[in-house]
Structure 1
Amino acid sequence: MMSNLFSMFDPSTNIINLSINWVSSMIGLILVPMPFWLMPTRFHILWYNILYSLHKEFKTLLGSPGKKGSTFIFISLFSFIMFNNFMGLFPYIFTSTSHMVMTLSLALPLWLSFMLYGWINHSMHMLAHLVPQGTPTPLMPFMVCIETISNLIRPGTLAVRLAANMIAGHLLLTLLGSTGPSLNIFMINMLILAQIALLMLESAVAIIQSYVFAVLSTLYSSEVN
C-alpha cells in the first residue's frame, strides 16, 4: 500500500545510490527493431509520413522567413516528448515527462533562445508585439503589462500543461487500480474494461500533448522572425 499517492512519481530506482530513473528517456532506442535502421519497413514508412506531415505544418506556421531546417528542431522535440510519454505508460518505467524538471528544461531554453534572438535582432518587431493592433491609446500601458506577463509565463504554461496531463492520467489509473482487491468478480471485469479504455485515452493524450508542445513552441518561434 502506498503511503503517498504521488509516490509512484518518485525517483526511487537506484544502483549504488545512483538514480537510474532518467535512463528511461533513452531506453526506447533498445526497443526500436533493427530492420528500422537497415531497410524501409511499414513502420518506417508510416513514421516518415507522420514526420513529413509535421514538417509541412511547422513550415507553414514558421512562415516564409523561417530558416531552412528549423522545422527539424520541433520535429525532434515532438518525437522525444511523445516517446517519453509512451514509455511512462509501461509498468515499472519512470515517467520523466511528469516531472517539472524535464518539462521546464525543454520549455525554458527554447523560450529563452527565442526571446534573446528576437530582442537582439528584431527589437522594434518585439516591441510592436506588446501592443496589439487597434488598441486604444489609454489602454496601451495596460496592454503592455498584460502582454509582458503573458510572454513571461509561456515556458511555465508549456511545462505545467505537459506535466499536469501526464500526472492526471497516471493518478486516475492508480486510483482505479488500487480498488481492485476489494471488488467482486463482476466489478473487477468492469474495472479491467475501464482501465483499458483509460489506457487508450492516455495513449491519445501522449500524442496530443507532444503535438501541442511542439506546435506552441513553433508559434512562439514564428513571432520573433
Structure 2
Amino acid sequence: MALNFFDQFDIHSTLGLPLIIPALMFPLILWISTNRLVKNRLSTLQSGFINLLTKQLVLSVNISGHKWASLFTALMLLLISLNTLGLLPYTFTPTTQLSMNMALATPTWLMTIMVGLRNQPTISLGHLLPEGTPTPLIPMLIVIETVSLLIRPIALGVRLTANLTAGHLLMQLISSATLATASSFTTASSMALVTLILLSFLEMAVALIQAYVFTLLLTLYLQENI
C-alpha cells in the first residue's frame, strides 16, 4: 500500500497518450504574445523578475564573475520550471529524480573548479590546506578538504531531490486522507482539504526557494575560484 504513494512520480497516460503532453502545453499560454518586439504587461513583468533574480545571484560574486550571470540565471529559470511543473495535474517532476539533479549539479560544479584551476591554480589548490596547519595534520586535512570538495555536487543533488520528494509525498498522504474521510468524517475531511491547499502554496514556495538555493550555492563555489 505504501508503495502506491510513489505512483505520483510516474507519467500517467490515457489511451496510450501521455497526459504530460497536454499539461506541458498549458504553461505556453503564459508566453503567447502577438508581437515580441512590443512591450506588454506580461513581458515587462517577466523582464523585471529575471532582472531581480540576476541581481540577487551576482551579489555574492565579484566583478570578474558577472560574465557568468546569464548562465546561472538560465539555470535557475530552468529549475523553477522543472520544480513547479509537478504541481500541475497529470505531470511529472523531473527534479525529483536524483539522476536528473546530479546531471545538473556535477557539470556546473566542475565548471567552477576548472575556472579556478585555469585562472588561479595556486589559490584554488591552497583551499585544500588552511594556512597555519601543523605539519602532522597536513595529510589528514588535505584528505578531509578533498572529500568535502568532492561531496559538494552530491549535496546539491540530494538536497534538491529530498526537498521536492518529501513535499510531494506529504501532499499525496494528505490528499489520500481527504478522499478516505470525505464520506464518513466530513469535518476531518474539510480540515485535511484546507491543509492540502495551504501545503500546495508551501510546496510552490519550496520549489522556488530550492531553485534559488541550488544556484546560489554554485555562485558561492564560483566566488571561491575567481
TM-score bin, normalised by smaller chain: 0.7 to 0.9
Aligned position for 2:10: 10
CA distance in 2, matches of 1:120, 1:12: 47
Match of 1:85 among 80, 83, 95: 83
Runs of 4+ in structure 1 over 4 Å off:
11-16, 18-21, 23-29
* Pairing 1:195–2:193 present: no
Match of 1:95 among 93, 96, 113: 93
Give the letter aligned to residue 216 of structure 1.
L
Q: Are the aligned partners of 1:126 and 1:224 in contact in 2 as well (CA < 8 Å)?
A: yes
Q: Are the aligned partners of 1:25 and 1:96 in contact in 2 as well (CA < 8 Å)?
A: no
Give the letter aligned to residue 42 of structure 1.
R
Aligned position for 1:55: 54
Q: Are the aligned partners of 1:130 and 1:148 in contact in 2 as well (CA < 8 Å)?
A: yes
Aligned position for 1:31: 29
User: What does residue range 64-213 of structure 1 map to in structure 2 within 5 Å?
Assistant: 64-66=63-65, 68=67, 70-183=68-181, 184-213=185-214
Secondary structure at the aligned position of 1:118 is classed as helix
Residue 132 of structure 1 and its aligned partner are, at CA, apart by 2.6
Residue 145 of structure 1 and its aligned partner are, at CA, apart by 1.4
Q: Report how many aligned residue pairs link the two structures.
A: 222
Q: Are the aligned partners of 2:112 and 2:222 in contact in 1 as well (CA < 8 Å)?
A: yes
Aligned position for 1:220: 221
CA distance in 2, matches of 1:188, 1:4: 21
Residue 143 of structure 1 and its aligned partner are, at CA, apart by 2.1
Q: Are the aligned partners of 2:178 and 2:193 in contact in 1 as well (CA < 8 Å)?
A: no
Q: Are the aligned partners of 2:12 and 2:90 in contact in 1 as well (CA < 8 Å)?
A: no
CA distance in 2, matches of 1:175, 1:144: 45
Using the size of structure 2 for normalisation, the TM-score is 0.85
Q: Are the aligned partners of 1:111 and 1:155 in contact in 2 as well (CA < 8 Å)?
A: yes
Give the letter aligned to residue 178 of structure 1.
S
CA distance in 1, matches of 2:180, 2:215: 42
Q: Are the aligned partners of 2:177 and 2:189 in contact in 1 as well (CA < 8 Å)?
A: no
- Shift of the 140–12 alpha-carbon distance from structure 1 to 2, 3 Å rule, reads farther
Aligned-residue CA RMSD (Å): 2.8
Secondary structure at the aligned position of 2:63 is classed as coil
- Shift of the 14–178 alpha-carbon distance from structure 1 to 2, 3 Å rule, reads closer
Instruction: Name stretches of at least 5 consecutive residues in structure 1 with no aligned partner.
Output: none
Q: Are the aligned partners of 1:24 and 1:87 in contact in 2 as well (CA < 8 Å)?
A: no
- Shift of the 210–24 alpha-carbon distance from structure 1 to 2, 3 Å rule, reads farther
Give the letter aligned to residue 123 of structure 1.
P
Using the size of structure 1 for normalisation, the TM-score is 0.85
CA distance in 1, matches of 2:6, 2:150: 29
